[in-house]
Amino acid sequence: MSLDQLLDGYQAFIEKGFASNADRYRQLEALGQSPSVMIIACADSRVDPATIFNAGPGELFIIRNVANVVPRYAPDGRAHGVSAALEFAIKVLKVSEIVVMGHAGCSGVKALLMDYEDTDGIGEFVVPWMASSHEILDRVMSHSAGHKVDTILGQMEEENIRLGLKNLMTFPWIADLVREGRVRLHGMHFGIAKGRLARLDPATDNFVTVERPEIPALKPAPTSHGSEAPAPGPALAAQKDGGAILP
């Protein structure tokens, strides 16, 4: 999308989206926002929570970063973007639902598995950022012998969501509200190609597909020719060589 296309999109938004919700926007500016749901999602351009959940202006408070990472509580006086958003959502907006949503084909999770480092130019910030999720690599690789790379990536994406929910409970002012029943935590995973949304079932700790209306048969996804798959990282290469649930 070019800058001209962005501006054309803005014109279309004013003529359609804004015009049909003008009163709502005026109300939001006058009275402020009061969303009840916070979503921690990936920055991936293919996974927009407002689009996926058909949400209108002011209905979702969204924080997006590489691989929907939720850090542990660390009040060390330094700048923490996700933690700042959580603090605002809980203490000011008083949200009652927090969703950690991952997705299929997550490049951040793939970077963790493949150990790209500087070879693909993402070692300066992405690799250190994903280091906080490194424990999911060990957890998945310990029981994934013989699995295909795509299967392992899918398992890691789900495990990263579980880790995010676990880390949310390290924030005392979130954990207290969860125990009191005033805040609920949810894990979700979105499959881009088929629009599949799966929700983490607290009773089984498994992701269960959310029911949806039937849609027409989808055409096969286009494939790119001439591109090579990235080389596996040490953990995956070694494997090829033989090698409490939240409410």
Q: Where are the alpha helices (DSSP H) in the chain?
A: 3-13, 19-20, 22-31, 49-52, 81-88, 107-114, 126-130, 134-141, 149-168, 172-180, 234-240
| pTM more than 0.95 | no
Read off φ and ψ for residue 204, nearest 5 degrees: -115, -15
Convert the pLDDT of each residue in 207-244 to its tens digit.
999 998 877 766 666 665 444 444 555 555 544 443 33
Convert the pLDDT of each residue in 174-215 to its tens digit.
999 999 999 999 999 999 999 999 999 999 999 999 998 877
Contact 230, 153 (CB under 8 A): no
- Beta strand pairing call for 206-209 and 196-201: antiparallel
Give all domains of the chain, ordered by start, each with its CATH number.
Answer: 1-32 (no CATH), 33-210+221-240 (3.40.1050.10)
